[in-house]
Structure 1
Amino acid sequence: MRSKIRNRWTPATAAVWCAVAATVAAVLPAATATAAAPPAAGATITATASDGHDPGRGLGPEIAAIMRKPGYEHARWGLTETDAETGRVIHDRGSDKFFIPGSAEKLFSVSGAWHTLGGDHRFTTPVQALGSRQGGVLTGNLALVAQGDLTMGGRTKPDGTVDFTPVDHTYANSLPGATLTPEDPLAGLDSIARQVRRSGITEVRGDVIIDDRLFTPPALDPQPYPLIINDNLIDLLTTPTRPGRPAELSWRPQVAPYQVTSTVRTVAPGGTTDIEVATSDDGTRITLSGTIAADAEPELRVSDIEDPAAFGRTALIEALARAGVAVTASPTGPNPEGELPPSPIGGRRVAAYVSPPYAEYAKLILKVSHNLGANLTLCNMATATGSSDCLDGFPVLRSFLDGADVDTSQIQLADGRGGDPVDRATPHALEQILHYWYTTPEADRFRTSLPILGVDGSLADSCTDCPARGKVFAKPGTVVGGDLLNDRLAVGGQTLAGYLEAADGRLHTFFVGVNGASATDIQDVLRIYNDVAMIAALLQQRAADGRS
């Protein structure tokens, strides 16, 4: 079993955690409409930049009022805006200075993988029959050759697109409001199993093996694997019943030998919802405890799949049984990878799962800030060159950025998701990658893969009734940690980079971000997020009115 990288940064340990900005906004949607509004006329505004300069000077009174609000006394603002067609610089505030961009750095990693693979690239995950066939009996093994497919059909809608919700299930243990997509996480394996049966095989007198030699899982968090089922998570959904009664529990995907038990009880309406998850060392025994209020929405938690290959092997054997294919080997136990022949393994292909186009995966990563998918981009780029070392994706990314005329001296990256403490980027570099896409045939496809203000993804709950709704396409980034000294939250970075619609259908690229703000609680983090989103909305309105 390959080692699993544990979460290194959690709110509980007061270290840095990096998440989707609008995940916070979605927690308290009622506050969204008002939290970002600039101070009322006559309000006292005292904050200025720490170097004595007015951070809002020359940006108009509404934007200036936001930047001068309390909480930004020691912060640093950056704001850039450029006409994408003419290159005219409209605003330039700190464009050549490093910022902590958080997940806005996914613009680089996702772009590199998209360019390397192609937006229409599909991952084909084959199953090979190894041995001899006599009638419907295979004497030998079935081998699934993992290809680094991010979802293996677990989010694919009937129309072939990839499904997502504003707050992804991968954030369920960190932030409230996470929800599940309705698709079956085992859909890809079920499709494979039906194909095996249609090939004429009804019995496998041997074993099922996951060939996961495509790449070595890198020391990144979250850690990518060649085989990913349900983001390598078990979903645990608790639903309240009546006060004093046990809560209802549902979980997926249900695969042996995983077992889940719950002692969560329902408490009175308005009571405390607090659910903890405990697991055995191998992750197969999961226990939930705590309380859930009777009037609460169903509460989602997740638990790591510790051994993705063993999990995938068992899940495929169970899928084969559902399709009418018997396997003589025990369905549970370690993945017998030692029985694999040298790679490539050869054999006769009896099934394959073909993914949606890569542009759909890029949309998922960008819309919900999917951290596992963003780290996987490095592996995808590395394997495209024949390397099994995911860190070899960095030279591929560097080569792409150089060719895209992005100044890599203005970028620092140590992962694919923008969550490493060293990650930095200048607003200028972020605008350069945005301008690159503007000049390509896939410009619209890329732009609409970004969260859309007030419409979808991690901007779905922001500015839902403002004039800029649907006219700002941008990737947020958030880095928040616990300031134990002052018993408050430190907002290392809150950023937004993307496109806004200007007059006459023109597009402007932009960056808005603040580093070094402080917050007293999660409500304050929400307000900072909304402040940045509101500045973007105000820029769009000015551009649409021809006032830029």
Structure 2
Amino acid sequence: MKPLKIGIICLLSTAIAQADITQDANHLIDQIDPHLNIGVEIKDLTTHQYLYKRHAQNSFIPASNMKLFSTAAALLALGPDYHFTNKLTTDATNWDKHELKGHLYVHLSGDPSFSSARLAAMINSLKQQSIQSIQGDVVLVSRYQNISPYAPGGMTEDLPFGYGAPIAPLVLDHNRFMLTVNPNDTAGKPAILETSHQTQQHMLINKVITKKDAKNCHIHFTIDATQALVLNGCIGLTEHALVQELAVRTPLLYTQKVLKHLLQEAGIALKGHIILGQAPHQTLLLSQDKSPSIAQLIAKTLKHSDNLYADSLFLHTADKLSGRPLNWEKAQQVIKPFLHVQTGIDLNSAIFSDGSGLSRYDLLTPDQTVQLLTFLYQRFPIAYEYIAALPVSGRDGTLQKRLKKPTQLGLIRAKTGTMKGITSLSGYLFTANAHIVAFAIYMNNTPQTKPAVSGRYRYLADALCAKILQVSKTPHGVSKPLLSFQASSTGQKVQKKAMKWRALEKALRVALKTQAVSILFRADELVLQDRQHDKQQVLNVLTKLAETYPFAIAVTTDKPQRINGQSAVVWAKTTKISQPIQRLWYLKPQASI
């Protein structure tokens, strides 16, 4: 009778836990709006019991929760150890006197991680093969050259930004770049722009003005008829620099410029042109490059919600399953049946317009999502790679700043999703009774929803997760103490350092606002363009700030300096300073031991 009693107690305790979650979840939702367009499903993977359902069969726009399905398809079809392969080949039969007598073909597989540095390594390998010139053309052969650059259902307002970067006709350096808008040193002057890719500088039209007062100052990004990015607005004299990731609007032109520069750097003369085209059926392999593994690419996709990575995995998986590159709609017709066969999930109502969730045409149900999470949790060959790729509450990725209380930190691995009027959160939780729970939460705006309500969607998703974490009413469940490392968050420490660096930038702008000094903010340094003859004016400010903010200093001046007789100023001679700049000061974070 003893096993029977235990079984009855377990069933009763599960029912009690389910009743508690139902009551608490309904109360939280009704507080926001009893008519809220929300779908929720919560399943205990330890007991296989559903703890809560609300509109779980309804279809919702999932936003970035679509990435759960596109990355799952890539893992299932390609395996965690698969690599994208990029190649250099030629149709030349010889290279007499160091000249390649034919065309050079650059085969681009659609690898979302392919970078200028990796392309440079491939080009430099030609030099090692004694190739000093190319008689023909350099032909870019891309798997995406006949694919639409954007999936159907995207928004025009997303196009200027890095998260909306085009995927075609090819991908290099993620098809995006960083732009920093710095206030000038005097009100009325144009803001100072810096880009991570110099090739993008000519595509920018700067109409941002520095103002003494930052009140009502905003910067707007638009695209004109020539595909140039136009910046309008103003920035305050003492305000932080604006750092924005933007899309490379013309990936082919960008790649052509990068490749031309790399050939020049390698000392390889090109007699032809750099064009987009096809390669003959048989060519000679000269160099090969491999991407990080699919497991690593999926971690980048999910933790940082990278749209370009997700769309690339989506299209590449369809390509490999069908044997040829497919456009978005054809890719959906391959991916959906494949996932159904692999997982058994009924996806008839689902719409996979893309792999990223940026399309407003995408549709998923909470039930389909929890079924996928359940399936992957139970599949040992890929479960660990998949779950480890998800953002961790309070620690990394898009959950670094969310659910970071001691009772939440590190106990949730979930995919976030956010678009205007849309919030989603789906993944796994480790509850107080040591159970693993799979959950999916989708909220979509309706025309009559007030902005004040939709603005609280994320709070509601986090509050629901906090309630699930507290489940503890099972007799065989034991509340487990936190592991040692869970007492602190590395991600939060990094965030605090970044905030302190920003605080130093602000303090510098305020302290130097009356001096002829322009301050350029960069991720790992602050550069001061000093146009004053007397270096002591800036040095006095740095001496004062060094008492609060620890930083190292390098300067291009005539002799080394010391701050407070302790911190040495590293001196470097340079001929690259253009008048009227007298010297450049470089401030860097102090290295900790």
TMscore range, shorter length: 0.7 to 0.9
Single out whichever of 353-362 and 93-102 deviates more from structure 2. Answer: 93-102
Superposed, which structure 2 residues align to 1:406-417 within 5 Å?
A: 406-417=345-356
Superposed, which structure 2 residues align to 1:168-317 within 5 Å?
A: 186-213=116-143, 216-218=146-148, 220=151, 221=154, 223-225=166-168, 227-244=170-187, 245-255=189-199, 258-268=202-212, 270-279=214-223, 281-283=225-227, 285-301=228-244, 304-317=247-260
2:367 equivalent among 413, 428, 433: 428
Task: Give the structure 1 partner of residue 113 of structure 2.
Answer: 151
Superposed, which structure 2 residues align to 1:4-403 within 5 Å?
A: 58-59=20-21, 63-70=25-32, 72-131=33-92, 132-153=94-115, 186-213=116-143, 216-218=146-148, 220=151, 221=154, 223-225=166-168, 227-244=170-187, 245-255=189-199, 258-268=202-212, 270-279=214-223, 281-283=225-227, 285-301=228-244, 304-329=247-272, 335=275, 337=277, 340-342=278-280, 344=281, 346-384=282-320, 385-390=322-327, 391-397=329-335, 398-403=337-342
Asked if the contact 2:432/2:478 (under 8 Å) is kept, the reply is no
Q: Please list the CA deviations of residues 472-500 of structure 1 after superposition, one character each: whole Å capped at 9, or x if unmatched.
A: 111122342xxxxxxxxxx3x32211100
Asked if the contact 1:237/1:249 (under 8 Å) is kept, the reply is yes
Asked if the contact 2:167/2:175 (under 8 Å) is kept, the reply is no
Cα distance between partner residues in 2 of 1:278 and 1:328: 38
What amino acid is the match of 1:83? D
Task: Give the structure 2 partner of residue 168 of structure 1.
Answer: none
Q: 1:326 to 1:418 in 2, by over 3 A?
A: same
Task: Give the structure 2 partner of residue 446 of structure 1.
Answer: 386
Superposed, which structure 2 residues align to 1:477-492 within 5 Å?
A: 477-480=417-420, 491=421
Cα distance between partner residues in 2 of 1:194 and 1:395: 41
Asked if the contact 1:277/1:301 (under 8 Å) is kept, the reply is no
Cα distance between partner residues in 2 of 1:505 and 1:191: 49
Is the radius of gyration larger for structure 1 or structure 2? 2
Cα distance between partner residues in 2 of 1:88 and 1:368: 31
Q: 1:465 to 1:290 in 2, by over 3 A?
A: same
Cα distance between partner residues in 2 of 1:228 and 1:192: 16
1:530 equivalent among 459, 482, 486: 459
Q: 1:278 to 1:460 in 2, by over 3 A?
A: same
Q: Please list the CA deviations of residues 401-431 of structure 1 after superposition, one character each: whole Å capped at 9, or x if unmatched.
A: 3321222135233322234444322211101
- TM-score normalized by the length of structure 2: 0.67
Q: 1:547 to 1:534 in 2, by over 3 A?
A: farther
Q: Please list the CA deviations of residues 205-231 of structure 1 after superposition, one character each: whole Å capped at 9, or x if unmatched.
A: 332121125562135145432521233
Q: Name which structure has the greater RCO, CA cutoff 8 Å, separation 6+.
A: 1
What amino acid is the match of 1:74? H
What displacement does 1:123 show? 0.8
Cα distance between partner residues in 2 of 1:256 and 1:134: 37
Q: 1:233 to 1:505 in 2, by over 3 A?
A: same
Pairing 1:473–2:473 present: no
Q: 1:473 to 1:256 in 2, by over 3 A?
A: closer
What displacement does 1:326 show? 2.3
Cα distance between partner residues in 1 of 2:143 and 2:316: 13
What amino acid is the match of 1:237? T
Single out whichever of 465-474 and 302-311 deviates more from structure 2. Answer: 302-311
Cα distance between partner residues in 2 of 1:215 and 1:85: 47
Q: Please list the CA deviations of residues 244-297 of structure 1 after superposition, one character each: whole Å capped at 9, or x if unmatched.
A: 1432211132238945453423223643442234555453x5443321123433
What displacement does 1:112 show? 0.8
Q: 1:282 to 1:189 in 2, by over 3 A?
A: farther
Asked if the contact 1:80/1:510 (under 8 Å) is kept, the reply is yes
Q: Please list the CA deviations of residues 138-170 of structure 1 after superposition, one character each: whole Å capped at 9, or x if unmatched.
A: 1222110110111203xxxxxxxxxxxxxxxxx
SS in 1 for 2:95: strand
Asked if the contact 1:272/1:293 (under 8 Å) is kept, the reply is no
Unpaired runs of at least 5, structure 2: 1-17, 155-163, 480-593
Q: 1:92 to 1:61 in 2, by over 3 A?
A: closer
SS in 2 for 1:412: coil
Asked if the contact 1:96/1:410 (under 8 Å) is kept, the reply is no
- TM-score normalized by the length of structure 1: 0.72
Unpaired runs of at least 5, structure 1: 1-55, 154-185, 481-490
Q: 1:260 to 1:294 in 2, by over 3 A?
A: same
Q: 1:420 to 1:286 in 2, by over 3 A?
A: closer
Q: 1:226 to 1:261 in 2, by over 3 A?
A: closer
Q: Please list the CA deviations of residues 493-542 of structure 1 after superposition, one character each: whole Å capped at 9, or x if unmatched.
A: 32211100125644211122333467655x76553212212211221232
Name the count of aligned residue pairs. Answer: 440
2:397 equivalent among 457, 463, 477: 457
SS in 2 for 1:292: strand
SS in 2 for 1:68: helix
Asked if the contact 1:149/1:226 (under 8 Å) is kept, the reply is no
